[in-house]
Amino acid sequence: MMRRALSIIMAMAMCLGAGAADGSASGSSEVVRPVMSAYMLRMGSSHLTDTYLTPLKYSGWSMGFGYERMQAMKFDPVRWVMQMRAGIDVDRTHNPSGNAVMWYWGADFSWSMMRRWRMTEGLTVGGGGMASADLGCIYAPRNGNNPASAKASVTVGVTGYAAWTGKVGLVSMTLRYQPSIPVLGAFFAPDYGELYYEIYLGNYSGLAHCAWWKNYFNMKNLLTADIHFGATSLRLGYLGNILSTKVNDVTSNLFTHSFIIGVSGEWLSINRRHGLSNDARIISAIY
Q: What is the pLDDT along the chain (287 residues), one digit of tens a residue?
A: 445 444 543 444 344 343 333 333 334 567 888 899 999 999 999 999 999 999 999 999 999 999 999 999 999 999 999 999 999 999 999 999 999 999 999 999 999 999 999 999 899 999 999 999 999 999 999 887 789 999 999 999 999 999 999 999 889 999 999 999 999 999 999 998 888 989 989 888 889 999 999 999 999 999 999 999 988 999 999 999 999 999 999 999 999 999 999 999 988 765 555 555 666 787 888 87
Asked, for residue 232, whether it belongs to a domain, the answer is yes
- Beta strand 101-120 with 123-139: parallel, antiparallel or unpaired? antiparallel
CA 219 to chain centre: 11
Asked, for residue 21, whether it belongs to a domain, the answer is no
Nearest-angstrom CA–CA distance, 165 and 170: 13
Asked, for residue 175, whether it belongs to a domain, the answer is yes
The values of phi and psi at residue 148, to 5°, are -125, 150
Interacting residues of 197 by C-beta distance below 8 A, sequence separation 6+: none
Task: Return the CATH number at 41.
Answer: 2.40.128.100
Asked, for residue 16, whether it belongs to a domain, the answer is no
Asked, for residue 27, whether it belongs to a domain, the answer is no
Asked, for residue 8, whether it belongs to a domain, the answer is no
Specify the number of domains making up the chain: 1
Asked, for residue 139, whether it belongs to a domain, the answer is yes
Instruction: Note down the domain range covering 240.
Output: 33-282
Interacting residues of 120 by C-beta distance below 8 A, sequence separation 6+: none
Asked, for residue 19, whether it belongs to a domain, the answer is no
CA 124 to chain centre: 17
Give the predicted TM-score (pTM) of the model. 0.84
The answer to whether the beta carbons of residues 84 and 55 sit under 8 Å apart is no
Report the first-to-last Cα separation within the chain, whole angstroms.
56
Q: Which residue, among 269, 282, 285, has the nearest Cα to 29 in the 3D structure?
A: 282
